[in-house]
Amino acid sequence: MSLRRQSDEDISGSCQESGGTQADDWAAVEDPNERRKIQNRLAQRKFRAKIKEQKEDSERLVENQRLAGSAYASAEPGELDGNSQLSGLPWGGVSMEHIIQSGINKEQSSPQSSKDNSVYAAYSRTGGSSR
């Protein structure tokens, strides 16, 4: 049985027609150079797919962080209605202004605040683009 040398177009065409099994099957190829070419082609295809997936994941992460950053803003203590009664508590309620102010003070005095640990801050420190 003689082996016919196939061009890249022949192999990729047969790959698309048969679902990739014929072009991906390098085990039956006896010529070491042809076998190496097929293996390199498969490795390159896998590498490109991996890079494409990493790029998509990175873009998705950046977009999610951008959207999440504008989705939530914590209240300032002065924005709350201090005269409102909390229902269900017979003795009154906790002061939400006090809770929010305590959280803000704790975040500002902490050596590593949550802002420093956020993904957005990590991107901005490394010079990453928001696009």
pLDDT tens sequence across 47-67: 999 999 999 999 999 999 888
Q: What is the pLDDT of residues 110-126, one digit of tens each?
A: 765 455 555 545 555 55
The C-alpha atoms of residue 106 and residue 110 are separated, in whole angstroms, by 6
| Domain ranges within the chain, ordered by starting residue | 7-72, 80-126
Contact between 12 and 6 (Cβ < 8 Å): no
pTM, two decimals, is 0.40
Q: Positive or negative, the Cα torsion across 107, 113, 118, 124?
A: positive
